[in-house]
Amino acid sequence: MEWRDHGILLTMRRHGESAAIIEVFTETHGRHAGVVRGGASRKLAPLLQPGAQVDLLWRARLEDHIGTFQVEPLRSRAAAAFSGRQALAGLNAVVALLCFCLAEREAHPGFYRKTERLLDLLGQDEVWPLGYLAWELALLEEMGFGLDLATCVVTGQTEDLVYVSPKSGRAVSVAGAGDWAERMLPLPPCLRGLGPAPDAEIARALATTGHFLEHRLTPALGRTALPEARARFVEAFARGL
């Protein structure tokens, strides 16, 4: 059996003397692992870095075998990732969340394209945080925990939406929150794609998406905690405010 696809390299670990096992997120075959012969060599190892864009030919005798990859690097994102602390932390967060959330060999073509576009923003610190926030919203949507921020869950109104219900993931207006306002999560305008989205506002929005990643998605996956890389990115971003 064989297939050809392109994807984003997520992880690489040594296998034997010179081979490597890589894990990739591909457009039409989802998160997939395979052996690369010579992948740990001096020639290939520097190219097989997280975030790299690669062309892949996968072969195996049976579909459920791990199989082997022939890898053709298309472009590296290493220079962008190492351009600053925020960029490297952002890349690590994306890779860790993809490995954490996505089931093996389950295709997510639309979300793959959003991920590719996000990684193409690496090193552009002026636009990366907002792009990353939109990506987390897309991840929650893809995993079945999308937020509904168009109307107030209590009153049905579309004005004065300033909170998110931590239980339903739906917007709540000032009037709708009432005495429960202190228990609500913040709904900064940037979560709805509105306004200039200053960094301090994005930081508040990441606290909200983080709540649903940690308290809704993580238990649904049978896990106990989010990858630490996500917290490290949020901390790196907050330090720059």
Token code pair at residue 138: 């897309």
Residues 13 and 128 placed together within one structural domain of the fold: no
Looking at the fold, whether 132 and 17 belong to one and the same domain comes out as: no
Element (H, E) at 23: strand 19-26
Can you tell me the distance from the alpha carbon of 176 to that of 171, in angstroms, rounded to the nearest whole number?
A: 9
Nearest CA to 229 among 210, 216, 212? Answer: 210
DSSP annotation of 47: G
Total domain count for the chain? 2
Q: Is 8 helix (H, G, I), strand (E, B) or coil?
A: strand
Q: 59 with 15, same domain? A: yes
Q: Are residues 72 and 130 in the same domain?
A: no
Q: pTM for this structure? A: 0.95
Classify the C-alpha dihedral 29-30-34-38 as positive or negative.
positive
Please report, in tens digits, the pLDDT of each residue of the chain (241 residues total): 999 999 999 999 999 889 999 999 999 999 999 999 998 998 889 999 999 999 999 999 888 889 999 999 999 999 999 999 999 999 999 999 999 999 999 999 999 999 999 999 999 999 999 999 999 999 999 999 999 999 999 999 999 999 999 999 999 999 999 999 999 999 999 999 999 999 999 999 999 999 999 999 999 999 999 999 999 999 999 988 7
Nearest partner of 9 among 60, 44, 61, judged by Cα: 44
Decide: helix, strand or coil at residue 80. Answer: helix
